[in-house]
Amino acid sequence: MSFPRRRKAPKTQNSELHEIDGENEDDDDDKKRNPKTNLRKDKRWSCVDSCCWLIGCICSIWWFLLFLYNAMPASFPQYVTEAITGPLPDPPGVKLLKEGLKVKHPVVFVPGIVTGGLELWEGHQCAEGLFRKRLWGGSFGELYKRPLCWVEHISLDNETGLDPSGIRLRSVSGLVAADYFAPGYFVWAVLIANLARIGYEEKTMYMAAYDWRLSFQNTEVRDQTLSRIKSNIELMVATNGGKKVVVIPHSMGVLYFLHFMKWVEAPAPMGGGGGGLDWCAKHIKAVMNIGAPFLGVPKAVAGLFSIEAKDIAIARAFAPGVLDKDVFGLQTFQHMMRMTRTWDSTMSMIPKGGDTIWGGLDWSPEGDFNCSAKKLKNNDTQTADQSGKGSLGSTKRVNYGRILSFGKDVADIHSFEIKRVDFRGAVKGNNLINTTKCDAWTEYHEMGIEGVKAVADYKVYTAGSILDLLHYVAPKLMARGDAHFSHGIADNLDDPKYEHHKYWSNPLETKLPNAPDMEIYTMYGVGVPTERAYVYKLTPAAECYIPFQIDASAEGGSENPCLKGGVFSVDGDETVPVLSAGFMCAKGWRGTTRFNPSGIRTYIREYDHAPPANFLEGRGTQSGAHVDIMGNFALIEDVIRVAAGATGEDLGGDQVYSDIYKWSEKINLQL
């Protein structure tokens, strides 16, 4: 049975309005009955709201933490640290003050490469408003604001190695020149603070700041820095009752002060200070070298050759375009290379002594070093160490003498199997690129494809052929370098040619001063993997490119754990291998030798690296790393004791953990 349907009348405008009004009336009734529910219905949460909420939370937390930081007692961080790690030892200055140590010998600090601040005295228009502002050291704010202007002002003239036209950058003076490299990153600050604990102050401490970009002799030519160091040391001795100074150089500052000791003796007509042969004997008690690259560092070769080191090579492998032109068009590597190749001081760090010191194609002094084994601690003196106690053999010898190898297989095989084509006479080909498209000009642009291929076809470079390689790929750089530095071994130190200033920073081509009562220390960290040799590959051709690159994919695996990310590591302080830091005091200067005719006493003080146990310890108080060692409590204690009058024998003589004596004996050097 069906029922007739009632047809719906078509909706009119009035009926639609009535329905809407009805709905609104119902909604109003609902809002009155349940207002909270309807507030949620009306509120729509947008992305802008989310962002504002997040920013607000971050700002609130930040200001709250900042308030707590400023409100809490100064001793609170130490309280938290001691609650976690136990009681902290007294800082060395406090400990030695309790023992009764007081100020005795004035101290002179000699900073190393890059750690000293540089400020602007004259610049181009892009540097408007930066008069006497730090362009190096400090916050590096101008680097981020105007990078190309910054590079222009930090660079030196590529022909003279001095100031470019219209630019004057000078070293910051005083202890603040190198106490901190950047906010929160100390260099000399911890040592200065601990010396102050036993009474040292500005009149008994002097920072021998200099423009570390210049060649050592040019610091005197342009700024008379060596003369000012001489005058300040003489003044400190005169105003402190005739007590001699204790000099504390770090890193490249070690080579700089070695140059100074020859400069101050040399007569003025030869570019010297005219102090006489007994000046050092009258004014210097001890030279305590920290992280000394006496014989150079392989890391400098990689820096000059491809503007790389281990960390940069790894970062470049993970993000191949970030630092190159491929992504941002900034040509970062090219600007860095152009800038650093104007710094003549970098050439002082090229390995010295050739194959005699660093090894050849099939041997090296450290070839038996085992990267996977932990060294046994040994505080014994030279006799015990030379017997081989504490050293662990390696399952596979490493060809550390091959500082640069093109290909992992080339780094491993015997030299008889390597087919080499000499690059020295190779003719450089056409330019690699259209030079008009390059923002930063490098000397690689003049080599051409033929020149690049010639370098790679030589396969392997030892310390003896590295100089020829750099002359081929960077002729302008090396032309300046040859006038200021030498990297060989002297046959006859009495030859008049060694009176030239270019030999003064090479310990293998100069004599120590005639100062038998002076002491020389070499103080460095051990137990940190340190760059010693590299595996390279050719970079795919592109505009304005650097054709050589560390092969970060080259791994040694369990068979050869010393090879990681294209870099062979050895024992050292992360920057300076043990061989470079320790050889001269272990053998070259030990006793009376042709390099040490007056028999100055030498001591090796090694500090076994122990990383911080947790983040509250900062960079650690037992670190052996190249810069962090400046906060090592044991090293600071040794420095303060000597400054307060102790001798090397009072410290206990040598303190050795590495195989430096064994490795030194493998080097056949006429003494």
What does the alpha-carbon distance between residue 335 and residue 319 come to, in Å, rounded to a whole number? 18
- Structure tokens given for 622: 């037992």
Task: State percent of the chain over pLDDT 90.
Answer: 59
> Could you give the CA distance from residue 10 to residue 24 in angstroms, rounded to a whole number?
22
User: Which residue type, as a one-letter code, is found at position 260?
Assistant: F
Report yes or no on 185 lying in a domain.
Answer: no
Confidence (pLDDT) at 160: 92
Residue with tokens 């002094």: 365
3 state DSSP class of 289: strand
240 within a domain of the structure (yes/no): yes
Packing angle of the helix pair 147-154, 332-340 (nearest 10 deg): 20
Contact between 333 and 438 under an 8 Å Cβ cutoff? The reply is no
Residue 553 near residue 451 (C-beta atoms within 8 A):
no
pLDDT tens-digit series, residues 134-148:
999 887 777 777 888
- 93/197 Cα distance (integer angstroms): 5
The verdict on residue 514 lying in a domain is no
Residues designated catalytic: 251, 573, 626
Cβ neighbours of 203 (radius 10 Å): 12
**Are 142 and 133 in contact, with CB atoms under 8 Å apart?**
yes
pLDDT mean over 234-255: 97
Amino acid in position 309? A
Which residue range forms the structural domain that includes residue 270? 96-114+193-293+572-670
Whole-angstrom Cα distance, residue 436 to residue 17? 73
Tens of pLDDT, residue by residue over 540-585, are: 776 677 889 999 899 988 888 899 999 999 999 999 999 999 999 9
Q: Does residue 623 form part of some domain?
A: yes
Three-state secondary-structure class, residue 479: helix
How far apart, in whole angstroms, are the C-alpha atoms of residue 35 and residue 259? 86
State yes or no: pLDDT of 72 exceeds 90: no
| 80 pLDDT more than 70 | no
Per-residue pLDDT band at 375 (split at 50, 70, 90): very low
Q: Strand (E) positions, 504-572?
A: 519-526, 528-538, 548-550, 563-564, 567-572
Long-range contacts of 188-193 (CB under 8 A, 24+ apart): 188/109, 188/111, 188/250, 188/630, 190/630, 190/631, 190/636, 191/109, 191/248, 191/630, 191/631, 191/636, 191/639, 192/109, 193/91, 193/93
pLDDT value for 392: 39
Helix/strand/coil for 245 = strand
Answer yes or no: is pLDDT of 5 > 50. Answer: no
Token pair listed for 625: 């790393």
Q: What is the mean pLDDT of residues 627-632?
A: 95
Q: Are strands 168-171 and 134-136 parallel, antiparallel or unpaired?
A: unpaired
pLDDT at 17 over 80: no
Q: Is 224 a member of any domain? A: yes
- What pTM, to 2 d.p., does this model score? 0.85
- Contacts of residue 416, Cβ cutoff 8 Å, sequence gap at least 6: none
Among 129, 110, 109, 108, smallest CA distance to 120 is for 129
Measuring CA to CA, which residue among 591, 520, 494 is closest to residue 294? Answer: 520
Residue 626's CATH number: 3.40.50.1820
CA atoms within 13 A on the CB side of 545: 16
Give whole-number Cα distances, 611 to 35, 637, 657, in Å: 62, 19, 16
Is residue 443 very low, low, confident or very high in pLDDT (cuts 50, 70, 90)?
A: confident
Nearest to 104 by CA among 243, 247, 303, 220: 243
Report the residue count for the chain.
Answer: 671
418-431: per-residue pLDDT in tens? 988 888 888 877 66
Q: Is residue 593 part of a domain?
A: yes
pLDDT digits (tens, 9 = 90+) for 465-524: 999 999 999 988 899 999 999 999 999 999 999 999 999 999 999 999 999 999 999 999
CA–CA separation, 668 vs 251, rounded Å?
26
pLDDT at 492: 95
Q: How far apart are CA 127 and CA 133, in angstroms?
A: 10
Q: Could you tell me which residues are beta bridge partners of residue 572?
A: 528, 577
What does the alpha-carbon distance between residue 589 and residue 507 come to, in Å, rounded to a whole number? Answer: 9
Q: What is the arithmetic mean of pLDDT over 621-629?
A: 94
Over range 418-447, report the average pLDDT: 72
User: How far apart are alpha carbons 156 and 341 in whole angstroms?
Assistant: 9
Task: Indicate the pLDDT class of residue 242, thresholds 50, 70 and 90.
Answer: very high
- Average pLDDT estimate for 406-410: 93
3-class SS letters over 488-513 = CCCCCCCCHHHHCHHHCCCCCCCCCC
Tell which residue, 532, 569, 567, 555, has the closest CA to residue 370: 569
Question: In Å, how far from its chain's centre is CA 46?
Answer: 49
Residue 337 lies in a domain: no
pLDDT of residue 299 exceeding 80, the answer is yes
The residue-averaged pLDDT of 102-111 equals: 97
Enter the DSSP assignment of 586.
I
Res 441 pLDDT > 90: no
- The 10s digit of each residue's pLDDT in 137-186 is 887 777 777 888 888 999 999 889 999 999 999 999 999 999 999 888 89
Are 495 and 365 within 8 A, CB to CB? no
Q: Is residue 231 part of a domain?
A: yes
Q: Looking at residues 271-277, what average pLDDT do you find? A: 90
- Dihedrals φ, ψ of 381, to 5°? -90, -165
Cβ 130 vs Cβ 147: under 8 Å:
no
Domain count of the fold of the chain:
1
Work out the percent of the chain whose per-residue pLDDT is above 70.
80
Q: From the centroid of its chain, how far is CA 62?
A: 33
